[in-house]
Amino acid sequence: MRSFRSTLILALVATLVGLYTYYDYKKSEKEEAAKVEKEKILNFVPAEVVEIKIVKPSDTILLKRVEDRWNLIEPIQDQADNNEVTGYLNIIKEEKGEELTQTNSSSVNWQEYGLDLPGANITLKSKNSELTFQISNKASFDGRYFVRNENKLYLGTSGWARVAEKTSGQLRDKSVFRENFVVNKITLLNQGGKIGFVLTKKSETDSKWSVVGKESWVVDNSKVDQFLDEVKKMKATSFAESSQNDSKTDLAKYGLQNPKIKFELEGLSSAKSKIVWQLFLNDKGQDQVWGRSSSLSSIFKISSTDLSHINKNVDEFRDKNSPFKYSMDRVSEIEFEQEKKQIRLKKTKEEWDLITDLKGKKVNKDQVNKIIKRLAELQVKEFLEQKSEKLDSNVSQIKLLDSDQKVLIALQWGGSYKPSNKKEPTATLSSSKDTAQKMVYAKSSLSRDPFVVFESDLQDFSIEKLVQDK
């Protein structure tokens, strides 16, 4: 009994110690939170702010919010970047400082602290209140900035420099594409107005794209969608100050009178009215890609990376797997010819039989299934013009047929391919890794145009691998 009582007392003591420790921890946590809150200079709710005015010696920035949309009013009228403005207000809210209580506002020499002509005079307006504060035009010896709020002087952190130095260009919406419509036509014009390519859809609801003048081509719709996503996500890295996209002087200055690239995206608005969005770009080298679009009034600059995402060769939109798309589950017979050898295989139920009489040999079922699957997965590395077909005399051929003897796919290959220096390579052949690999000419019954593939992709296509010793 005594032992039980002792255990109970110890348990109660442990519980009390635990509760006290928890209480002390929560108390310390609250005190720390209160201390952090006290160190913040400004007290306001960022979500309630509807107007921001930043007056600096060099310029004035004015932003106003209408419902959930921030707009830049000065020094230029444009949409603002909502995320950037919200982040800016949160920085102001969280920045800290130490009140210099020994000072008296009536006797403070504001010039001494760089606040007679502040680096920034900022006003935040809400529906029912207004808050104005100033940030010094110079830093203290340790890199911190002085802040004046309601005639109180604070020694703030170095982070107040970010608040004072914010520019209209940083707060401005940098989206190059701002329209909201379903695109059903894409046109690329090269320098001089020469058409590079035109991609179209038959209707707004149609999901299939086609190349005008090349209707026999099979377009990879996912690549077009990815291309449009890249255009829509494109951001200006900076704006040409005081520029206008319709000024001949400005266009000449940034090489946009005769742009290297011109895009047009065409579609219908929600009201079914026609919309044409245009983008003009000129690559001056050294990451100097200047442009103008029908969404922006100013000339802007984009990165060379963004340019590479959208400056496409029409061949890059082709479906590189289209010459190999067939119904694998319908294959009932295989005819294979290679190096003057021929074999025929036929499927009976789930088994493959060797029709060609090869003594001492039987079908390698695993290899047959592997080839059927591998053939459907092949990718063209580059399509060629029909006159470019150069299959050599020692061509290999594999033909897959269904139970009615209908050819599902016939593939021929042979003859080494070397890219011509005169022809601009597509993206698939641009890397040194690709060009170092050996490629061969090929032709499929599912494609009008010949093409090339990597020889290594065909290494499983061998008569010797299809059969094995009994």
Are 87 and 130 found together in one domain?
yes
CB 320 within 8 A of CB 220: yes
Are 331 and 311 found together in one domain?
no
Are 333 and 393 found together in one domain?
yes
Q: Is residue 177 part of a domain?
A: no
Are 345 and 267 found together in one domain?
no
Residue 119 in 3-state DSSP?
A: coil
- Among 23-27, 146-150, 253-257, 357-361, top mean pLDDT goes to 146-150
pLDDT number for residue 204: 72
pLDDT number for residue 120: 95
369 pLDDT tier (thresholds 50, 70, 90): very high
pLDDT number for residue 240: 87
pLDDT in tens, 313-338: 888 999 999 999 999 999 999 999 98
Q: Is residue 86 part of a domain?
A: yes
> Per-residue pLDDT averaged across 170-186, rounded?
92
Q: What are phi and psi of 199, to 5 degrees?
A: -110, 135
pLDDT number for residue 31: 45
What is the overall mean pLDDT for the chain? Answer: 85
Q: Is residue 99 part of a domain?
A: yes
Q: Is the pLDDT of residue 432 over 60?
A: no
Q: Is the pLDDT of residue 256 over 50?
A: yes
Q: Is the peptide bond before 75 cis (omega within 30 degrees of 0)?
A: yes
> Per-residue pLDDT averaged across 18-24, rounded?
58
* Cβ atoms within 10 Å of 221's Cβ, excluding its own: 14
List beta partners, residue 416: 440
> Per-residue pLDDT averaged across 4-32, rounded?
59
Please give the biggest Cα pair distance in the chain: 112
Between 417 and 171, residue with greater pLDDT: 171
* Cβ atoms within 10 Å of 190's Cβ, excluding its own: 13
Q: Which of 289, 317, 345 is the last residue of a domain?
A: 317
Q: Is the pLDDT of residue 363 over 50?
A: yes
Q: Is the pLDDT of residue 252 over 70?
A: yes
Rounded to an integer, what distance in angstroms lies between the CA atom of residue 6 and that of residue 14?
12
Are 77 and 153 found together in one domain?
yes
> Per-residue pLDDT averaged across 423-433, rounded?
39
Q: Is residue 18 part of a domain?
A: no
pLDDT number for residue 101: 63
Are 329 and 433 found together in one domain?
yes
- Domain range spanning residue 342? 322-469
- Among 45-59, 106-120, 268-282, 388-402, top mean pLDDT goes to 45-59
CB 134 within 8 A of CB 147: yes
Are 120 and 158 found together in one domain?
yes
Q: Is residue 33 part of a domain?
A: no
Using the structure block, give the residue that is written with the tokens 């266009």: 251
20 pLDDT tier (thresholds 50, 70, 90): low
Rounded to an integer, what distance in angstroms lies between the CA atom of residue 197 and that of residue 219?
13
Residue 190, both tokens: 């090269």
362 pLDDT tier (thresholds 50, 70, 90): confident
Q: Is residue 14 part of a domain?
A: no
Number of H helices, E strands in the chain: 10, 27
> Per-residue pLDDT averaged across 448-453, rounded?
93
Are 151 and 265 found together in one domain?
no
> Per-residue pLDDT averaged across 242-269, rounded?
84
Are 130 and 231 found together in one domain?
no
Tell me how many domains the chain contains: 3
pLDDT > 90: what percent of the chain?
53
Are 162 and 234 found together in one domain?
no
Q: Is the pLDDT of residue 247 over 70?
A: yes
Q: Is residue 2 part of a domain?
A: no
259 pLDDT tier (thresholds 50, 70, 90): confident
User: How many residues in the chain?
Assistant: 470
Q: Is the pLDDT of residue 309 over 60?
A: yes
Full strand arrangement of the beta sheet holding 120-126: 78-79, 69-74, 60-66, 49-55, 120-126, 130-139, 145-149, 152-156, 97-99
Q: Is residue 160 part of a domain?
A: yes
Between 51 and 339, residue with greater pLDDT: 51
List beta partners, residue 130: 125
pLDDT number for residue 421: 54
Q: Which of 317, 342, 366 is the last residue of a domain?
A: 317
Q: What are phi and psi of 318, to 5 degrees?
A: -70, 150
Are 89 and 195 found together in one domain?
no
Rounded to an integer, what distance in angstroms lies between the CA atom of residue 245 and that of residue 291?
9
Q: Is the pLDDT of residue 107 over 80?
A: no
33 pLDDT tier (thresholds 50, 70, 90): very low
Calculate the alpha carbon distances from 88 to 63, 157, 167, 172, 463 in Å.
12, 16, 11, 12, 68
Rounded to an integer, what distance in angstroms lies between the CA atom of residue 180 and that of residue 297?
18
Are 163 and 273 found together in one domain?
no
Q: Which of 270, 285, 317 is the last residue of a domain?
A: 317
104 exposure class (CB count in 10 Å sphere: 0-12, 13-18, 19+): exposed
pLDDT number for residue 242: 73
Q: Is the pLDDT of residue 132 over 50?
A: yes
